[in-house]
Structure 1
Amino acid sequence: MDEANFTSMLNISLLLRSRDLATSVATLTDTVRNATVARNVASNAYEWRFILPPYFLIFLLSVSGNCMVIATLASNKRMRTVTNVYLLNLAISDFLLGVFCLPFTLVGQIYRRFLFGAALCKLIPFLQAVSVSVDVWTLVAISLERYFAICRPLKSRKWQTQCHAYKMITCVWLMSIALNSPILVASTLQPMRGNE
């Protein structure tokens, strides 16, 4: 066998092996893709069965419970005490948290991506952060109001009025919006790897 024949046989052998390698890579890629699809189907079945009902129940209780608290405190003038004004603000922020957090988080959990566009990509995290911040600062205001009512009852009676409570609530909302406004600037919608 001369050198030219040997070289051509070697090239043919390498070509056949490279085709086998390409076929093997394609088969392996298909197997991985099928396994990923099967895992996603199983994961989605799990999520629809075990994650959706608790989310739905929490959403229903959050919205209906806070709506009842808001309706009760807003409609009954005798219940507008200083503490109840804070509780009304807490119910409003909890209602907003339920509306802007649970549905969007559930959809993101199920579909593994954000489906609502660039504008809501900025707005939803901002509203979620503001709602949580208002919750926390309202609880701080309630704690301070209760502390002064118990530890310094005579001095605190002068300034613990509904007007003061409304001023505190306004400060809480303005501070929460101001401190969380960088979220509006920083949030951007980016494609996830594999969904491009």
Structure 2
Amino acid sequence: MADNVSSKIDTPTNISLSPSDAVSESLEYKTVSVFLVMLVCSVGIVGNIMVVIVVLTTRHMRTPTNCYLVSLAIADLTVLIAAGLPNVSDSLTGTWIFGHTGCLGITYLQYLGINVSSCSITAFTVERYLAICHPMKAQTVCTVSRAKRIIAVVWIFTCVYCILWFFLVDIQVSQDGHVQCGYKVKRELYLPIYLIDFAIFYVIPLLLAIVLYGLIARILYISPLPNHPDTSTTTLRRSCREASEVGKGIHQGRQKSVLSSRKQVSATSHI
């Protein structure tokens, strides 16, 4: 009796967080899951397509900042399509219906979109930093042609990097005929790959964003726009000092212009 009790205690119990077969096969579960996935994907796809169309069809919208936003929108579209369709089909059929080629291609596109999104946000952050903290330098560095070249490099690098996933996933058929798109080798072998992805596309961009936005906040904090006094009470004083402070007035005017441009760029980055 004691042996039986000890064996029961020593035997680990497997706890699964995924829905049971009865729940996943129920009509209510399928309806809710498909509705939520379709809602999120529809809103995201329409919104990102509108961003791309507006920027590409409006001439004055073709700025370096909007170029990075277009790259981010295309990357988000890739993730929404590559992740949304398999979720809908899996909820409706309960099995993988896209075959071996679909498993490789969809997995590749999912990681491609996620990694390009991270790189696009990083490039956008660097561009905002230069535009706000170094406005004179940004006029020659932050150009549309340079932004296009950076975006091309980001997409080429990420496309080549994600080719690795073609060799890491494959379809798996269980004994009951259930088909899944999953890992091709043992999961322990994926740990270095996930750590590299985590470092390159999350940790480094996050640390860089923290540093750059901290510098942006510092510049905006120590260089506030001067308060403009009431013109009706200071007109006489300004007219008396105007002749003797022409050079100083020109310098202050340039400083106000630079500070005002920083405020506008900062406000644009939050839209």
Aligned equivalents of 1:109, 1:176: Cα separation in 2 = 30
**Which segment is superposed worse, 181-190 or 121-130?**
181-190
Cα distance, 1:112 vs. partner? 3.8
Q: How many residues are aligned here?
A: 159
Cα distance, 1:110 vs. partner? 4.5
Letter in 2 for 1:164: R
> Retained in 2: the 8 A contact 1:89–1:138?
yes
Which residue matches 2:157? Answer: 175
> Retained in 1: the 8 A contact 2:37–2:87?
no
The structure having more radius of gyration, on CA atoms, is 1
Question: Higher RCO, 1 or 2 (CA under 8 Å, sep at least 6)?
Answer: 1
SS at 2:172's partner residue?
coil
Aligned equivalents of 2:71, 2:42: Cα separation in 1 = 20
1:194 has 2:176 as partner: yes
Which residue matches 1:106? Answer: 88
- After superposition, residues 106-145 of structure 1 pair within 5 angstroms as 106-145=88-127
| Root-mean-square deviation (Å) | 1.9
- After superposition, residues 51-66 of structure 1 pair within 5 angstroms as 51-66=33-48
> Retained in 1: the 8 A contact 2:34–2:91?
no
Aligned equivalents of 1:39, 1:190: Cα separation in 2 = 18
Cα distance, 1:70 vs. partner? 1.2
Letter in 2 for 1:181: I
Aligned equivalents of 2:115, 2:105: Cα separation in 1 = 15
Gaps of 5+ in 2: 1-19, 179-271
> Retained in 2: the 8 A contact 1:63–1:95?
yes
Aligned equivalents of 1:172, 1:42: Cα separation in 2 = 39
> Retained in 1: the 8 A contact 2:120–2:151?
yes
1:165 has 2:147 as partner: yes
Letter in 1 for 2:59: K
SS at 1:115's partner residue?
coil
CA-to-aligned-CA distance 1:19-63 (integer Å, 9 cap, x gap): xxxxxxxxxxxxxxxxxxx95366432322321111111111112
Aligned equivalents of 1:39, 1:189: Cα separation in 2 = 20
Which residue matches 1:97? Answer: 79
Point out the structure with the larger helix share: 1
Aligned equivalents of 1:106, 1:91: Cα separation in 2 = 22
**Which segment is superposed worse, 105-114 or 135-144?**
105-114
Aligned to 2:64, which of 59, 82, 89? 82
TM-score, structure 1 normalization = 0.74
